[in-house]
Amino acid sequence: MRDFVDNDTIAAIATPPGDGGIGIVRISGENAGFVADKFFKAAKKDFSVLDFRTHQAVYGKIIDDKGNIIDEALCIAMWAPNSYTKENVVEIQSHGGSLVVHRILELAINHGARLAQPGEFTKRAFLNGRLDLSQAQSVMDIIQARTDASLRMAAGHLQGAFSAEIQSMRHSILEIIAHLEASIDFPEDDIEDVAKQEAEEKIDAIKNRISEILKTFHTGRILRDGLMTAIIGKPNVGKSSLLNALLREERAIVTDIPGTTRDSLEEYANIGGVPLRIIDTAGIRETHDKVEQIGVEKSVAYLQKADLILALFDASRPLSQEDLDIIAMLKNKKGIVLLTKKDLPAQIDTEDLQNLLQGDFKYIRISSINKDGLKELEEEIVSHVYSGNAGQAEGCFVNNLRQAEALQAAQKHLEECLNTIRMGMAEDFIVIDVRSAWEKLGEITGDTVDEDIIDQIFSQFCIGK
């Protein structure tokens, strides 16, 4: 039997709001077993939650303070340290009605737990050393992943592929520091020059490795957040037909993500594993009904926001003034030009457009009706997203700005360090810069990071995770 201790035990509903087959209330903390035991009664007589074997699923009833049966449920205790948070965790699996799970949560709170903050379970997993910060962040990425490639990346991060890479660089840096410090301590040993030369080589290698990793940011960010895509073209050019063809291919899962501002008019299409985040799908569909003129201002705003521009021109008709207006808007831009309605006799061809468009564009002829050219479009998008990163394991991609900025800062410190060495300055100065790089890399894993930043990261999580 464990003793009741006055410690912070948290509880939350872990399943999404609404009705479902099963609802889960999760309790974590020293007293998780005590709390659950107050309202969970195992079917087997006198079988206290505190006596459950770890990870044993026990069938029983949820009973409120007045003795009323709330629901039948399964209760699973995962005793420390073999749990998600490394603390005592009890999970109650009840029927998934929203009232039921709220009643169970209420019972947990009435019996000494407090409501968990967003991400607090994962934060505890991090603080208790089960995950590093980069792995903890990947938990959220797994939840929000919209395509297989995004999921593979997030799962690779959770497995620690990226963290291991960062830790290995930090380890090398510590060795450099140790060598340099040894040469400071024993100057008479004449190891000074050797130490400096070795340091220079190693620092250069780490700096190059960081550059390689930073190159993955473009792909990593897109796999995580989606490729912001603007589809533009005059009315009736085939925008909504294309959109439907893309979405029908394999409709990406759309979720509401707390803590991030998402335009409700966006939809995700899964294009060869790339989550295409299409801006203003409602607007595109609306023009279909109203056949309204596209507002120039609106289009300019899309183009500025977009990572990818898909510009549509109806190949079955001669270019109109509206097309020319769009061509003017596309000046000096980059993207993919789609000549639509390939199944109809052509009135314009690629060359006509190439002569008019000043920018960096690929040209593809498509027919949304026949699904012709869509494969080519997919290949073009995938190669654009993976450019320079083909063959790289997705688990090693940098996928968020905080990590990318820490890597950039570390790289800068290493560059300064190389300058210091090349200027022939003393070891002490070199050590200062290498140490700063070491600290910056530690911000990624969470070894050297402020509490405020940690709080801010976890506050973006959902409650119950």
Q: What is the contact surface with ligand GDP in residues (CB under 6 A)?
A: 233, 235-241, 284, 287-288, 340-341, 343-344, 367-369
Q: Which two tokens stand for residue 30?
A: 């020293």
Q: Where are the beta strands (DSSP E) in 288-412?
A: 308-314, 334-340, 360-365
Strand-pairing partners, residue 276, are 227, 269
- Residue number, 263 or 292, with CB nearest to ligand GDP: 292
Between the two ends of the chain, the Cα-to-Cα distance in Å is: 28
Smallest gap, in angstroms, from Cβ of residue 227 to ligand GDP?
20
Strand-pairing partners, residue 56, are 77
95 alpha carbon, distance to own chain's centre: 31
Strands 308-314 and 227-232, bridge-based pairing: parallel
Q: Locate tokens 């903890």: which residue? A: 136
- Residue number, 10 or 338, with CB nearest to ligand GDP: 338
Asked whether the beta carbons of 312 and 340 are under 8 A apart, the reply is yes
Q: Locate tokens 């060869």: which residue? A: 272
Smallest gap, in angstroms, from Cβ of residue 339 to ligand GDP?
10
Spatial distance between the Cα atoms of 426 and 283, rounded to a whole number of angstroms: 63
- Residue number, 220 or 335, with CB nearest to ligand GDP: 335
Q: How many CA atoms lie within 13 A of 323 on its CB side?
A: 20
Smallest gap, in angstroms, from Cβ of residue 305 to ligand GDP?
19
- Residue number, 62 or 284, with CB nearest to ligand GDP: 284
- Residue number, 317 or 412, with CB nearest to ligand GDP: 317
Spatial distance between the Cα atoms of 307 and 105, rounded to a whole number of angstroms: 43
Q: Locate tokens 């464990």: which residue? A: 2
Spatial distance between the Cα atoms of 246 and 373, rounded to a whole number of angstroms: 12
- Residue number, 253 or 282, with CB nearest to ligand GDP: 282
Smallest gap, in angstroms, from Cβ of residue 254 to ligand GDP?
20
Smallest gap, in angstroms, from Cβ of residue 68 to ligand GDP?
57
Name the residue among 458, 396, 460 with its Cα closest to residue 124: 458
Torsion angles phi and psi, residue 334, rounded to 5 = -130, 145
Smallest gap, in angstroms, from Cβ of residue 361 to ligand GDP?
19
- Residue number, 88 or 340, with CB nearest to ligand GDP: 340
Strand-pairing partners, residue 365, are 339
- Residue number, 78 or 294, with CB nearest to ligand GDP: 294
Per-residue 3-state assignment (H helix, E strand, C coil) for 225-247 = HCEEEEEECCCCCCHHHHHHHHH
Smallest gap, in angstroms, from Cβ of residue 284 to ligand GDP?
6
Smallest gap, in angstroms, from Cβ of residue 269 to ligand GDP?
15
- Residue number, 196 or 341, with CB nearest to ligand GDP: 341
Smallest gap, in angstroms, from Cβ of residue 239 to ligand GDP?
3
Smallest gap, in angstroms, from Cβ of residue 31 to ligand GDP?
59
Q: How many CA atoms lie within 13 A of 196 on its CB side?
A: 19
Spatial distance between the Cα atoms of 228 and 278, rounded to a whole number of angstroms: 6
Spell out the residues 6+ positions from residue 326 whose beta carbon is closer than 8 angstroms to its own: 232, 233, 234, 299, 311, 313
Strands 40-42 and 56-63, bridge-based pairing: antiparallel
Smallest gap, in angstroms, from Cβ of residue 377 to ligand GDP?
12
- Residue number, 171 or 371, with CB nearest to ligand GDP: 371
- Residue number, 33 or 233, with CB nearest to ligand GDP: 233
